[in-house]
């Protein structure tokens, strides 16, 4: 089982990163940190007569998704939705899911962990529903998410409910109880 993390925060010491570290401590994984990507707005050429080549960020996303069985997205709940830079990366899924390689070897499962400071278990649900629609559209099972509370970096450590959910999710990943039959 190969795990790929997508860190969706622009902060280097973010609550999202703290959750990621708690979840995957001593587990083999690869991280795609959006703060290290040079992302520009996505230009959609799907309906043009000329086939446009994949831009660098789209190719990075495709290669990353092809390598991993489980994709875990960690993100802040930024103004009650998906952070802008992460959304710009996710917009590239319009091309990624149309690639023959993706259809043959897409991830078996997606998980989202999100942190917010203003009642995230309620106000983060629209963001989770947006992820549900995204993963449904590209046919990747999405059964697990954690909504955690934290405002300043480090606050998330005080959210005992979220940390308990992270501990359970960690055991789930270690046991390999994933959607093995899905492809």
Tell me the domain boundaries of the chain. 3-175
Please tell me the CATH superfamily of domain 3-175, with its number.
Flavodoxin domain (3.40.50.360)
Helix axes 160-175, 15-24, angle to 10 degrees: 40
Higher pLDDT, 57 or 30: 30
pLDDT of residue 178: 64
Query: What is the average pLDDT across 100-120?
Result: 92
pLDDT of residue 58: 85
Residue located via tokens 């830079």: 85
pLDDT reading at 2 higher than 90: yes
pLDDT reading at 14 higher than 70: yes
Buried b (16+ CB within 10 A) or exposed e, 55-70: eebbebbbebbbebbb
Banded model confidence at residue 76, pLDDT cuts 50, 70, 90: very high
Query: What is the average pLDDT across 89-104?
Result: 83
Higher pLDDT, 43 or 75: 75
pLDDT of residue 110: 97
CA distances from 34 to 8, 59, 83 (A): 6, 14, 11
Q: Measured in whole angstroms, how far is the alpha carbon of residue 39 from the centre of its chain?
A: 16
pLDDT of residue 182: 46
Task: Tell me the percentage of the chain whose pLDDT exceeds 90.
Answer: 67
Query: What is the average pLDDT across 145-158?
Result: 96
Q: How many CB atoms lie within 10 A of CB 112?
A: 25
Indicate the DSSP class of residue 163: H
pLDDT of residue 183: 43
């Amino acid at each position: 089982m190969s795990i790929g993390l997508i860190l969706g925060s622009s902060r280097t010491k973010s609550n999202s990163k703290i959750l990621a570290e708690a979840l995957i401590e001593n587990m083999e994984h690869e991280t795609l940190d959006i703060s290290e990507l040079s992302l520009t707005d996505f230009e959609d050429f799907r309906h043009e007569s000329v086939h446009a080549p994949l831009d660098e960020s789209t190719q990075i996303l495709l290669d990353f998704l092809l390598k991993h069985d489980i994709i875990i997205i960690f993100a802040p709940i930024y103004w009650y939705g998906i952070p802008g830079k992460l959304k710009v990366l996710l917009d590239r899924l319009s091309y990624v899911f149309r690639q023959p390689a993706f259809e043959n070897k897409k991830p078996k499962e997606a998980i989202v962990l999100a942190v917010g400071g203003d009642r995230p278990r309620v106000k983060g649900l629209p963001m989770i529903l947006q992820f549900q629609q995204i993963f449904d559209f590209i046919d990747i099972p999405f059964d697990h998410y954690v909504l955690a509370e934290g405002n300043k970096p480090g606050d998330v450590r005080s959210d005992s409910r979220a940390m308990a959910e992270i501990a359970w999710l960690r055991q789930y990943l270690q046991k390999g109880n994933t959607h093995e039959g899905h492809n």
